[in-house]
Structure 1
Amino acid sequence: MPVRTSPADAPLRIAVVADSDTRWKWGALTARRIAGRPPELAGFLLRGRATPTPRQLAEVGVAADALREVTMAEFLRAAEREPYDVVVLALVGGAAQAALHGLARLWPGHARRPVLVTGYVGVVYEKLADGLLLRHGADVVLANSRHDAERFRAVYEGVGADAAAVTEAALPFLGGAPHTPEPGRDTVVFAAQPSVPESRADRMYLLRRLIGHARRHPERDVLLKLRSKPGEHTTHIEEQPYQKLARSLDPPPNFRLVYGNMGEVLDRTDLLVTVSSTAALESLHRSVPTAVLTDLGVREALGNHHFIGSGCLASWDQLDAGHRPSPDPRWLAAQGVAPGEAYEGAFDAVRARLAELLARPALAPVSPYYTPVTAPGYLPGILARHHLAPDGTPLPGAAPETEATGVRRLVRDAVRDAARGAYRHGVQRVAPVIRRMGEL
């Protein structure tokens, strides 16, 4: 790998590899937060079902100096050739593990290599051990709160893995002006999630209650904030899009579907309602009244159990009657979302760790917890899904030496877009029909 020789005060060269719009947002903003000064940002979008569209990238609103779509093998080749200081792995657990093994193959011993950073895009409410162990091997594993940092260290230490990489920080996209009521404005926003709840019946229930709230309060603007448009995918697969479900319910004039940057939506929000979206943390950080719904139960499958003790749990019946939850300050502080000046220093620890790692003449080999010895029945399958051999080497044909150009590239891109469209059509239209037929 080329060795960085630029002055110490030059911008850090940071590569962010992401596999969805939400992870690109987290990764790119994390890169900016931890750099301490504006970095040179190279973006790699991992090719797959959730690769963000140009519209989704524009909505995120975080630009890069260079941005390209790649396979895992193509990313590894770029990482080997380019002198990056830091690589941020904004990936789902399996992809992060594949990237770590691929990068470990590039630098098998002590070497002058990039600092590897990874973490989570929001609330960690499921697959804690699985997701953490798949991210082990990075030099920095970011925890979004003190609560998460304690849990992360306990998991690593409990399996005998090194926990030194766990570093407390915060979600990088918190911010914005504190909530200020405006005379004549009364806006309720429901932050939808692609996969929670999952069933059509539960989603229809929430939609009916939201529309019912709009009918009860005609003076109030009631907005359904959606993450993606039909045909687009985000971090999770959405089989029952709210846009499609809303067509049959004849909503009143004060009910609207909205898209766009969550921060901009919160600028005009007077009550944020959700099941368990990370948007609740953004809202609480800005002191916007926030309700986490209990209508479908407080359950691990929904993720709203994460908000036990927050003071934000409420039902639609309570909200219809005018209730506004009041968050517990101690819970907010433990979750890293306390309003005020505390957030300004939330990234000091990771900046200090990054500076210490960058100052070393060489870094230790990348050493994930999962190896052919510790997980011989699990690891090879994860690597194979990203076209890597069990030793992290790209399989033949995974990364052609020359990029397609001209007509070849146009044909390739057209075929790829058609395949994605067929996949999304199958997920959102064909699969639900087959599932209902199977229940007959």
Structure 2
Amino acid sequence: MPVSTKRNLRVAVLADSDTRWKWGALTAHRLAPELHLTGFLLRGRATPTARQLGEVGVKADRLSEVTSAEFLQEMRNEPYDVVVLALVGGAVQAMLHGLRRLWPAAAARPVLVTGYVGVVYEKLADGLLLRHGADLVLANSRHDAERFRTVYEGVGADAASVVETALPFLGGAPYEERPDGAETVVFAAQPSVPESRADRGYLLRRAVQHARLHSRREVLVKLRSKPGEHTTHLEELPYQRLADRIQGGLPDNCRLVYGHMGDVLDRTDLLVTVSSTAALESLHRGIPTAVLTDLGVREALGNHHFLGSGCLASWDQLDEGHRPQADPEWLARHGVAADGPCGDLYASAFDAARKRIAELTEQPQLPSPAPYYTLATAPGYLPGILARHHLGPDGAPLPGAAPAASQASGVRRWVRSALRDAARGAYRHGVQRVAPVIRRMGEL
């Protein structure tokens, strides 16, 4: 029987990008099916736009943009049962130390939860140790849970916080071939993989070439963000601009698309990517899924994660009609449709986490958060991480880090918001326009 919480929990999610908001909010709903959800967006370069939030499609009872110090002030003033830290590793560590300062001893405090948005293919030890100190560190599969515990135990840190779950956004109807023989091929692009203009241009040209070779197929290039927007990773070379340079333009059966990945997968017959989490969503439904080898199988690309999956393939093979067949044992170890698309095993994947949440929320007090990184274990590393989030070595907000919103007049709030938006726009322009030019000049 599925495990559920006994009461309507007050859950807060702090996220720093659109994809992490999606993961955090959906994780909250999986952990506490009956909840009051308050969302906080950590102010920074990747703070999602209204369009991005709408595309994610997850609503909160209240949603606001905050600084680190403002979030910690909220935690001090408002009682929450569960807090989900859907952040990059350094931000998780900063929040854990800020919360540790709020509760330096056992206290009635919220249960702290964190984890990963998708495939963990790089910085395993670094990212995990930055997340240590949360009450629950969610692993998206049996494979990840084993790796996570090995890292924590390897440094002598408590590994009891690691709980096996699954990605919270897997779902949708199982794949069925269309009786009319029509086919839609979707290339799921990624904002930062691969990095170079040459490699990104190559992948786009191959998708276009596939469309020209197969005029009866619809080829969709699924993009995560529009120019000027940022997601979890920086995108210096948007595919939209590369598409403008395709000789002869895009063929009629090839186009760029946005929107919710689940809606795109509803009409997908072949999903093609380098290493996107979209591959796991596709595999969960039983959709033929190809992880490209054209640029090599390399840790830098993340496609090495799919070794043994049966999904590795090249555009040449796909052009010739190859359809990868995923290995069932690999799927089971990686938390993807282990007993068939949308099966009962996935439905129970969060039972262990719900049980842990129920046990912890029933406790009158919880011990102070205890991250592995402290001024004793990492004196040359931790202060810099905290400073990037405007916290001192003791986790206290630095002077001037968070003027209370209530202390600012309406005009001051408007001016501050306008300046912040202008600065964010200038930063994005620099990343996507100026930085590539400087880099090219440096290569001359």
Partner amino acid for 1:329?
Answer: P
Q: Which of 380, 384, 389 pairs up with 2:387?
A: 384
Measured against aligned partners, the alpha-carbon deviations of 1:249-284 in whole angstroms (never above 9, x if no partner) come to 111000010000000000000000000000000000
- Measured after TM superposition, the shift of residue 360 of structure 1 is 1.3
Alignment correspondent of 2:115: 119
Alpha-carbon distance in structure 1 between the residues aligned to 2:219 and 2:297: 24
Alpha-carbon distance in structure 1 between the residues aligned to 2:229 and 2:379: 35
Establish whether residue 46 from structure 1 lines up as the match of residue 38 from structure 2. no
Alignment of 1:365-384 (within 5 A): 365-384=368-387
Alignment of 1:259-274 (within 5 A): 259-274=258-273
Alignment correspondent of 1:234: 231
Alignment correspondent of 1:407: 411
Alpha-carbon distance in structure 2 between the residues aligned to 1:248 and 1:81: 53
- Measured after TM superposition, the shift of residue 9 of structure 1 is 4.4
Establish whether residue 216 from structure 1 lines up as the match of residue 213 from structure 2. yes
Alignment of 1:68-107 (within 5 A): 68-107=64-103
- Measured after TM superposition, the shift of residue 405 of structure 1 is 4.1
Alpha-carbon distance in structure 2 between the residues aligned to 1:204 and 1:327: 28
Q: Which of 418, 430, 433 pairs up with 1:426?
A: 430
User: How many residues get paired?
Assistant: 432
- Measured after TM superposition, the shift of residue 86 of structure 1 is 0.3
Alpha-carbon distance in structure 1 between the residues aligned to 2:362 and 2:88: 29
Alpha-carbon distance in structure 2 between the residues aligned to 1:414 and 1:363: 41
Establish whether residue 303 from structure 1 lines up as the match of residue 302 from structure 2. yes
* 1:362–1:294 distance in 2 versus 1, CA, 3 Å: same
Alignment correspondent of 2:25: 28
Establish whether residue 437 from structure 1 lines up as the match of residue 436 from structure 2. no
Measured against aligned partners, the alpha-carbon deviations of 1:322-375 in whole angstroms (never above 9, x if no partner) come to 000000000000000122221011000000111111111211110000000100
Alpha-carbon distance in structure 2 between the residues aligned to 1:22 and 1:366: 26
- Measured after TM superposition, the shift of residue 248 of structure 1 is 1.4
What secondary structure sits across from 1:189 in the alignment? strand
Partner amino acid for 2:122?
Answer: E
Partner amino acid for 2:90?
Answer: G
Alpha-carbon distance in structure 2 between the residues aligned to 1:134 and 1:183: 50
Question: What RMSD, in angstroms, separates the aligned Cα atoms of the two structures?
Answer: 0.9
Measured against aligned partners, the alpha-carbon deviations of 1:406-439 in whole angstroms (never above 9, x if no partner) come to 2222211111111011000000010000000011
Partner amino acid for 1:227?
Answer: R
Establish whether residue 253 from structure 1 lines up as the match of residue 252 from structure 2. yes
- Measured after TM superposition, the shift of residue 220 of structure 1 is 0.5
Alpha-carbon distance in structure 1 between the residues aligned to 2:230 and 2:397: 27
What secondary structure sits across from 2:185 in the alignment? strand
Alpha-carbon distance in structure 2 between the residues aligned to 1:51 and 1:159: 33
Partner amino acid for 1:154?
Answer: T
Measured against aligned partners, the alpha-carbon deviations of 1:120-179 in whole angstroms (never above 9, x if no partner) come to 000000000000000000000000000000000000000000000000000000001101
Q: Which of 380, 396, 400 pairs up with 1:397?
A: 400
Alpha-carbon distance in structure 2 between the residues aligned to 1:393 and 1:406: 28
Report the TM-score when normalising by structure 1: 0.97
Report the TM-score when normalising by structure 2: 0.96
* 1:402–1:322 distance in 2 versus 1, CA, 3 Å: closer
Identical amino acids, percent of aligned pairs:
77
Specify every segment of 5 or more residues in structure 1 that has no aligned partner in the other structure, as ranges: 1-7
Does the 8 Å contact 2:7/2:34 carry over to 1?
Answer: no
Runs of 4+ residues deviating >6 angstroms: none
- Measured after TM superposition, the shift of residue 401 of structure 1 is 3.0
Alignment correspondent of 1:322: 321
What secondary structure sits across from 1:305 in the alignment? helix
Measured against aligned partners, the alpha-carbon deviations of 1:173-211 in whole angstroms (never above 9, x if no partner) come to 000110122233310000000000000000010011000
